[in-house]
Structure 1
Amino acid sequence: MKKLLKISFSSLIFAAPLFLSAACTNTNVTQIQYQKKFSQSVDAKLNDLVESFFDNDQKQIQDFYTKQQQIQSDLIKEFNYAILFAPLWDVNVYSNSGDKVKRTNLAIKKIKSILYQDWFWFLNNIKKQVFVFNPYGNYYDGSVYSSDENLKEKIQNMYQDKTILVTLKSNHIENIHEIKITNSKYDQLQNKKLLFIQFEENKLVPILSFEFKNKRYLRVLPELLVVEKSDNLTNLLSDLTDSLFEAKNLYDEEEREYQISLDPNFDFENYLKNNNDEKVFDFYRLGNYSEFLKRAIIKINTQGQTQIKRYTWGYVNEDK
């Protein structure tokens, strides 16, 4: 009997690697099939963006999709909670947070993490994202109203005709417009481009593409631009990008004049170093792209027939 048990136990020991190998093989096959099914559900142009981002390295692409399909719905709940304390249209929210400073700081970190890292999730779930009309730049007055009577009337009308919020009907990408950005003297981000992801006929989401320390990044700029009456979107977006950086230069000059009026020895070069492209494309700070985008849109809207409305990411619809 002992001999029989010994033989049986020995057989199990030798057979175990075979069972484990078969189990692992089946798991790997299932995982690959699931990953393939997930990647096939991705919009074609979004998949092109993924392939371009990884230089068509299939191993990296497969690993990326495996990771993406594991992102849980908790991310939606975390964002929707964080945005209550740190709305993206209030770039100075931290300074205005009062006794909510700790929760605001945590909310800012969470939202920044999503914008920095989760560009694929954001685009692949774009129809869940809800955008809020945003005419503000550096300063948000804490309500939908403003001392600007024209703006006040416009917002009231948008509430009435239910255009204050915008959502997209599907995740389908119509086109991707790529606009290169020229570096300035103290810039740290290399090979910068604005990728305007076009949804439907006239709705665009900007994504910042850049390299830093020989590594490539894509960063969500949480805006939705709704364009009316444009014969050539690419030319319009190029003009908008140029106007954004013209607004940045004008803003810097305004700051220089103001600071010199306070201190004739104001170090403007040091100011430029501390307000380079890293700071321009950061979030929740005065003097970031939000103010310049606001000015650029005003310029475009007053120059010609084209009208651009800017909406900012407000929350995620969990039920959509």
Structure 2
Amino acid sequence: MMFPDYRPRRLRRTEALRGLVRETRLHPGHLVYPLFVAPGKGLKAPIDAMPGCHRWSVDTVVDEAKEVADLGVPAVILFGLPEKKDPQGSEAWAKNGVVQKAIRAIKKAVPGLVVITDVCLCEYTSHGHCGVLAKDRVDNDATLELLAKIALSHAQAGADMVAPSDMMDGRVGAIRSRLDDEGFDDVPIMSYAVKYASAFYGPFREAADCAPQFGDRRSYQMDPANAVEALREASLDMEEGADILMVKPAMPYLDIIRLLRQEFTLPVAAYHVSGEYAMIKAAAARGWIDETRVMLESLLSIRRAGADIILTYFAKDAARALA
């Protein structure tokens, strides 16, 4: 039997050869670790739907941030659980809110760690929606000023980057203008530019206590059926001043990550969300899959699709495995 001159298996024979021709690299430096910060002291409360993840108080989150940095993961993103909620979500921009306190504490203890903050109202509003309400409808334009106030409060506390996740029209421009006017023109915006109304967010809503009290978020988050719309959303955010464009979720939307990578020169981030994490954890707990291999293969697929940055609850585990 005659073979062609080129045999692909020649370069797969050993790990050294495979590594030499590997097209896509995954490194801890590509990862961002999400952290949930809650009121109290000495808190490390397990999140049932997300094994291995916890809610932290400000004092304990500092030690967790140190561990993240020691593993070579360069950044964290903070989500806050307030002491009290109201229809406006006013705790979100409080000077001494849990996120603002956590920013100051982490930047003092681990100054080299990049601290990103989620900018949204859903964790803080009594109704659980990402904006203020006009009767039973989320009022887009009335929400913009509040989002800008949140972002400014985070920048004033020392955040290195803000990440609006609300999906209100015009929010990147409103935040950019407010930050610039207040002298924070050097604080970048990582926009949740393409955020789908996904069923993969369930465990996060338990972790952050932010499920809507009525209705759902399909009137402001994107329809999972749409791809071309993703380009419109990303284009608008870029024009308004976004520095990084994010796709959320990640693996069900690898085609969208690739689409943004091909169309834009800005860095592209992808959020490997709670549902993706929880499914791997659940299958591994039953012995159905090899958790470490599936984790790394999943993250590698997101990189291969074109993501420069991956936000993932696996960041610490992946960093250890990659070491």
* Greater helix fraction, Structure 1 or Structure 2: 1
If the length of structure 2 is used for normalisation, what is the TM-score? 0.24
> Higher Cα Rg: structure 1 or 2?
1
Ranked by relative contact order (alpha carbons within 8 Å, sequence separation 6 or more), the top structure is 1
